[in-house]
Structure 1
């Protein structure tokens, strides 16, 4: 196993441990919603400290339930991941295409082939 493979395997185990350990150790079992988002936790802390607090703004769209809100958040995350994956794929494809074009222009023996059109500096 190469050094990079060992590092990748170790990182994979660490990520899995970060995901599984809170569930296995029962962290958050004493709470009503153990895995509530930061927004919900902040809202409950604010109403606990100052019950008459009125928010400055209201949301543009309030989902009918928590499940719909979670589904919309997952959809947003998936779309963002898709856009990033597309961008990095296009970048890698362009880089590979340029490398193939440079290799083809160099010719089979590695030297510049004479069949290429002359550039502005050569003419």
Structure 2
């Protein structure tokens, strides 16, 4: 490995560590600042606002599937998020690999 590749790899590792620390800060800081707060979703807030504005409001339709409990609903939501993150991660990884393979082919010529 030449020094340029080592420098690039070292700066990449530093950037990764900095980004991971930033993600941890984004997750932890709100929990510390608002330790007793309840973190709810936007759906509940929207429903409360609509009911406050128009108490007689009736939704256009209802859900065709209602999970048995809040825990199951959270599990389904987390599974959907994990699947989406996996697809995005795969795409990014495949794209980067293709780019590196093209660069390596150009260097060999």
Partner Cα distance (2:46, 2:34) in 1: 22
Deviation at 1:54, TM superposition (A): 0.4
Match of 2:6 in 1: none
The answer to whether residue 27 in structure 2 is matched with residue 19 in structure 1 is: yes
CA deviation vs aligned residue, 1:33-85 (integer Å, no higher than 9, x gap): x1110011111222233222101122232212111111111111111111011
Correspondences of 1:1-123 after superposition (within 5 Å): 5=14, 9=18, 12-26=20-34, 29=37, 34-104=38-108, 106=109
CA distance in 1, matches of 2:103, 2:30: 46
TM-score, length-scaled by structure 1: 0.64
Residue 26 to residue 101, structure 1, CA distance change in 2 (3 Å):
closer
Gaps of 5+ in 1: 107-123
Cα distance in structure 1, aligned partners of 2:21 and 2:97? 30
Query: Paired residues, what number?
Result: 99
CA contact (8 A) 1:28 1:35 kept: no
> Mind listing any 5+ residue stretches in structure 2 that lack a counterpart?
1-9
Which deviates the most, 90-99 or 79-88? 90-99
Higher helix share: 2
**RMSD across aligned C-alpha pairs, in angstroms?**
2.7
Report if aligned partners of 1:47, 1:53 keep a CA contact under 8 Å in 2. yes
